[in-house]
Structure 1
Amino acid sequence: MRIKDLNVNEDILELFNYTLNGDAKAEVKKLLSLPLVSTEEILERQNILKGFMENFSLFESYSYSRIDFRQVYIFLRNFDEHDFFPKRLKLKLRFSKKKHYDYRGRCVQLITLFHRLHNHYIKRLVTAPFPEQYKNDIRLLDDFLNSFKLDYYENLIREHKFGIKHIVQIIKHISLKKQKREITPFQDTYTLFEAYISVITGIKRHNFCFPEISTGQVSLTDFYHPLLKDPVKNTFTSNSNVILITGPNMSGKSTLLKAISLCIYLGNIGFAVPAKAAQLPRYNNISVFINLNDDMQSGYSHFMTEVINLKNVALEATDNSSNYAVFDELFRGTNIEDALEISQTTLRGLLNFKNSLFLVSSHLHQLTEMKEIQDNIIDTFYLDCNLKANTPAFTYNLKPGWSDVKIGRILFEKEGLNTILNPKHTIS
């Protein structure tokens, strides 16, 4: 996956980050970063998230003491029976006030936290909507927490009857869990559990939709880029495997390509997408090239970087795998004559990879004269721009066809550069 230009691990992560601890946030980041290798895996994750959505009313006020959670987590993860469960522990607790307070505090903290997590969330889950495999994870959480007799101990704590013998019982139980190696699986499973809660909270708050995973064309209804404050929503369907997008400078081509690509990427990792409805294929590879710069470390120029990126995408597509790739302003790093010629060759060549989808944006209006475009073999779209009193008004609406609006000279003259660079009057 070449998706650096989508800023998934920075900006997009925050759309789904409603976690209460660092480990759960790291798990959300992991879910966002790791590709899924089959349609079955995508649907499995979709169904897990839909199961959480069915239980969303439980998690609208999801909370716990972050300090308690972290301290209990560290206590369990680092528990050593030689340190915490020495011989004659009951006697030592009776004669050491410091040790008694320490052990009692740890046990009360654990019971209080676990009682909240179990009674407010795990025990109240409706498990029917979840896939069978994930039901096993829920059972693991339920069995682990239930084994601590939480209602019994929580009642003793509340009635101030929680004594030394109860502390010893809990420490002994933790020691047994450690010996059976049940603590780490529980903590890992609960971290993922909270990550899922975080993701569905983001989906719900932003009103994203789960796409249908299909074969063939991409279809997006009222899609948009979720980081825009007041986004213009567009609808897009790919009838060809090669799409050319035109439009003047500042018309929003790069943002549009990011919005489409983000829908496709999120859909391919089993997440909901920023659209009203969506049908998306699963792609073996996703490559998004938008914010290209000269590769200083390898010594590549902007143009050579474009060439290498295109070569890698083409080589991946030759094995009949399904690939998605975006090239924003392809070959802008070379002169216009070369750019036009090799752009035409590229567009024609990409038509050969029928299982893939390629989106190319360009300022080269001459490309629309290609026979493949005139015959609608290559799809064309443009972002609309109106001229009012010689001033461009960008609508950001995606339309079929191509744009002939050229605003470079208009903006040049509007800023007075003709006068500045060619003064009509000279000072004598």
Structure 2
Amino acid sequence: MFLIDQQTLSDLNAIERSDNGLWNFFDHTVTVEGRYTVYRYFLNPLKSIEEIRNRQEAIIYLAEADVDFPFDKFMMDDLERYLSLPNEPYSENYFSYYLEKLSANMFSLSNKRIRQTIRRSVCEIAMLIRYLSELLESAVRQGRPVGVLNQFREDVLRLTEGLDVDELKKISIEDIPLTLLIKYDYKFRNLKKNQVKSIFAILYELDALRGISISFIQRQMIFPTFHHENEPDMMLQIEGLYNLFIDNPIKNDIAIRREKNIWFLTGANMTGKSTLLKTVGTCVYLAHLGFPVPASRMNTQFFDGLLTTINLADDIIAGHSHFFSEVLRIKKIANTLSEKQRMVIILDEAFKGTNYNDAYQATLTLIEHFENMKSSIFFISSHITELSSAIDKDRVELSYLKTETNDESNIKFTYQLVSGVAEEKLGMWLLQREKIFETLKSIGTRGN
């Protein structure tokens, strides 16, 4: 099972309802339960390549079929309430149920409202069963891979066993005779209540998958391909990688081979290191959800999990400094690596909570230990460019995000990934550009 934890979900903005949250981005659902189905997808990455492909195929089919649902939030809320009406007295058969309804004067004028609710609900459930059956049957008849829709079709056939197709058609499009209304109210709320709830669950799944397909189309995303670990030595390859939440984003390529499974990214602040690492993590994560990814092409092996350290906060309540929080995080990563071999680990500005010498030595030692773990991928960023001279270049890929300067000493951030080590030191440049020292000098002069 693909492992992901709360820190990683937070780093990737996975389940936030904000403008830059992944859940919000993929949520084009029309029902409340459809929305929370997408949420559950984010908390439960898939367990195998086969499960991933099955979800991918269903999303692709729904995208191309341009499915238009005959239900919305309000209809499904009403139907859920209908199923939750006060429990009916137990009836051994439909005839005794019918007699109980008559004896209770259920169909008198005084019970007009609940009678209308029952009539409308029975009609709508019959319509939804017909719609779902026809949609899934049509998908399977296409003769193309439709993934999890195959299983949905089998489930619907099983759940609707014993229901009369002609009667369902009649009550979904015509005024229902009294006897038929009581019969199907008895079936839907008594005999087959659990089956009806299961049919609703399939509708919510379709709502969730269709919502994902809308994002897939609108942003021209792609579905990654997966290979088994013992096939090529290319562990992860992403072409045209871009961030979903940046207008006119710069696209980059990532390629991680087994012999160089450690990726060391250098550069000053503001060059885009954190954004790039978050985008890589997002692609790996979405791929293992069976979702489309923001890239033009992606090929990857199936990993056991993803752990990131991008926006690690101090733990004030526990009394932990930032550095001690980093230490605990690295400890968790180490423990995980002892149990799971095929991990993706992303460390942004490792050990920034301590002094330069400690950060230098700790990062170098960490990389040296990672060199012995050839089944996982390690992304490490640092502004300590001096580390590059001590790193084993045969095992570590060196990259940075390019900046450009002109004669006026202005700097342009290209956000373009290139091989090598960053040369720029932008701290003093930024302080001078903002004229901070000049301001402080003028204050000191006035004080004298």
Please indicate, yes or no, whether the TM-score normalized by the shorter chain is above 0.5.
Answer: yes
Q: CA deviation at 1:399?
A: 0.9
Q: Secondary structure at the match of 2:346?
A: strand
The aligned amino acid for 1:302 is H
What is the aligned counterpart of 1:187 among 191, 200, 216?
200
Q: What is the aligned partner in structure 2 of residue 96 from structure 1?
A: 108
CA change 1:114–1:6 in 2 (3 A) is farther
Q: Which residue of 1 aligns with 2:177?
A: 163
Instruction: Note closer, same or farther for the CA distance 1:190–1:130 as it changes in structure 2 (3 Å cut).
Output: farther
Is contact 1:114–1:145 with CA below 8 Å preserved after alignment?
A: no
After TM superposition, the score normalised by the length of structure 1 is 0.89
Give the letter aligned to residue 254 of structure 2. Answer: F
Distance verdict in 2 for CA 1:76–1:339, change over 3 Å: same
The yes-or-no answer on 1:56 pairing with 2:60 is: no
- Closer, same or farther: CA 304–46 of 1 in aligned 2, 3 Å: same
Q: CA deviation at 1:24?
A: 1.4
1:108 to 116, 120, 136: 120
Partner of 1:294: helix, strand, or coil? coil
Of residues 59-68 and 328-337 in structure 1, the stretch that sits farther from structure 2 once superposed is 59-68
Is the partner of 1:225 in helix, strand or coil?
coil
> Aligned-pair distance for 1:95?
5.9
1:413 to 2:432 alignment: yes
Give the aligned partner of residue 208 of structure 1: 221
Distance 1:424 1:198 in 2: 57
> TM-score w.r.t. structure 2 length?
0.85
**CA deviation digits over 1:180-232, x for unaligned, max 9?**
x4233223233223222222222222222111112352100001111222211
Alignment check: 8 A CA contact 2:139 2:149 kept: no
Is structure 2 residue 247 aligned with structure 1 residue 229? yes
Could you tell me which residue of structure 2 aligns to residue 68 of structure 1? 75
1:138 aligns with 2:150: no
Q: Is the 8 A contact 1:49 1:196 kept in 2?
A: no
Pair 206,185 (structure 1): closer, same or farther in 2 beyond 3 Å:
same
Match of 2:275 among 236, 247, 255: 255
Distance 1:202 1:93, change over 3 A: farther
Dislocated runs of 4+, deviation >6 Å: none
Separation in structure 1 between the aligned mates of residue 174 and residue 67 of structure 2, nearest angstrom: 30
Of 283, 301, 305, the residue aligned with 2:303 is 283
Alignment match, 1:398: 417
Distance in 2, Cα, partners of 1:327 & 1:371: 16
Please tell me the root mean square deviation across aligned C-alpha atoms, in Å: 2.7
| 1:303 partner amino acid | F
1 CA distance for matches of 2:206 and 2:107? 41
Greater mean alpha carbon deviation, residues 113-122 or residues 197-206: 113-122
Residue in structure 2 matched with residue 87 of structure 1 by the alignment: 99
Gaps of 5+ in 1: none
Q: 2:171 aligns with which of 143, 153, 162?
A: 153
Q: Determine which of 39, 46, 64 is the counterpart of 1:29.
A: 39
Distance 1:58 1:90 in 2: 46
Range with greater deviation from structure 2 (377-386 or 265-274): 265-274
Identity of counterpart residues, as a percentage? 21
SS in structure 1 of the partner of residue 369 of structure 2: helix
TM-superposed CA distance for 1:353, in Å, is 0.9
* CA distance in structure 1 between the partners assigned to 2:86 and 2:150 by the alignment: 28
- The whole-number CA distance in structure 1 between the counterparts of 2:425 and 2:373 is 32
Query: Structure 1's 132 and 48: CA in aligned 2 closer, same or farther, altered over 3 A?
Result: closer
Asked if the contact 2:271/2:401 (under 8 Å) is kept, the reply is: yes
